[in-house]
Amino acid sequence: MLEIAVASGKGGVGKSTLSSTLILYLKERGYDIIAVDADADAPNLHLIFEVERWDKEEPYSDSWVSEIDYFRCVNCGICHNVCTYGAVSLVEGRYYINPMICEGCLTCSLACPEKAIRRKRVNRGVIRLSYTKYGFPLWTSELSPGRPNSGRLVTEIKNRAKAMAKENTISVVDSAAGIGCQVISSLSGANVALLVAEPTPASLSDLKRIHTIAKQFSLPSALVINKYDMNSEFVEEIIKYAREENIDVIGMVPYDDHVPKAMAEMRPLIKQYNEAPASKALVEIARIVEERIIRGWSDWSRSHRPSKPARYVPIIIKPGEKA
């Protein structure tokens, strides 16, 4: 199994458009494909692939919150004093545990002299599976409002995709924007980091951040520059960084009004506007991924794997200090 994670340091740079094109291209070329939408906060691949119903949908419950039994509670306030998350507050004269903040750590329950606090399991979100009209399964998830740890949801759907994969399956993971926990989960266990950037200083800065995470996992990386013609003078800055970091620049996509049109019409770009300039560029990039990365995996991965993992340096905030 080969897992390709499509990622970027910022949103709106074309990850989902690239992911959907790569998925469709490889499927049409006869590969066994599994699609994974790893944006648990705002999944959207199902819109692009015209999913009208889910073949499987189930709640994902791996988290807990505490609640107060007011028949036993004597309103002593100890729970408020010991809660490290600030989840307990005084509301209209009695203590209340906010389920949107509570982590279910049991500290308040252990500290309560009246044993008036208990934990209950809550849904973190929902996991969904669709066998799309294009002939491949799509795993996706959606985090419940206010619930933490979207990275666990991403890990869960990736594990389910792996469980149904065959030896020659290719899994394309459409990551969320940024460098948060769900993006880290997207890159963890992947074989390739396919990075997307735009020719702007902000995008270059975010590219450096996401590539640092890829290096922490020792992932060989490839780069696609989207909307390159919007600021062609800055393209060389991004290419220069890619050369310095041994990132394989596999293609550039022009700005094209057909891209937002296809998204508004909720159809894959290469199906809706296959003659559009962006479609042709993306298909060529998909062809390069097939020939250079998939078929030439042994040589390509050896050539572009980081010489050493990037160091992870945690920021330690001592009690009483501000972040």
Question: pLDDT per position in the chain (323 positions), as tens?
Answer: 899 999 998 778 889 999 999 999 999 999 999 999 999 888 999 999 999 999 999 988 777 889 999 999 999 999 999 999 999 999 999 999 998 888 888 899 999 999 999 988 887 789 999 999 999 999 999 887 766 567 788 999 999 999 999 999 999 999 998 888 889 999 999 999 999 999 999 999 999 999 999 999 999 999 999 999 999 889 999 999 999 999 999 999 999 999 999 999 999 999 999 999 999 999 999 999 999 999 999 999 999 998 887 776 666 767 666 65
The pLDDT of residue 95 is: 95
Distance, in Å, from the CA atom of 156 to the CA atom of 159, rounded to the nearest integer, reads 5
The pLDDT of residue 320 is: 67
The pLDDT of residue 147 is: 64
Token pair for 241 = 């960084």
Judge if 131 and 256 occupy the same domain: yes
> Which residue, chain included where needed, has tokens 């889910």?
54
Last residue within a domain, chosen from 122, 149, 171: 122
* Dihedral sign of CA atoms 181, 170, 140, 221 in order: positive
Distances (CA, A) of 270 to 113, 146, 317: 64, 36, 48
Q: How far is CA 316 from the centre of its chain?
A: 25
Strand 2-8, strand 170-177: pairing: parallel
Length of the chain: 323
Q: 23 lies in a domain? A: yes
Q: How far is CA 37 from the centre of its chain?
A: 7
> In terms of residue numbers, what domain contains 214?
2-59+126-304
Tally of domains in the chain:
2
Give the phi and the psi of residue 111 in degrees, each rounded to 5.
-80, -20
Judge if 102 and 158 occupy the same domain: no
Give the phi and the psi of residue 201 in degrees, each rounded to 5.
-60, -40
Judge if 247 and 177 occupy the same domain: yes
Distance, in Å, from the CA atom of 19 to the CA atom of 23, rounded to the nearest integer, reads 6
Beta bridge partners of 226: 253
The pLDDT of residue 178 is: 85
The pLDDT of residue 309 is: 76
Judge if 114 and 68 occupy the same domain: yes
CATH number of the domain bearing residue 105: 3.30.70.20
The pLDDT of residue 307 is: 82
Judge if 82 and 104 occupy the same domain: yes
Q: 45 lies in a domain? A: yes
> Which residue, chain included where needed, has tokens 């310095």?
244
pTM of the model: 0.83
Judge if 179 and 261 occupy the same domain: yes
Judge if 42 and 105 occupy the same domain: no
Judge if 80 and 191 occupy the same domain: no
Last residue within a domain, chosen from 80, 102, 122: 122
Judge if 216 and 145 occupy the same domain: yes
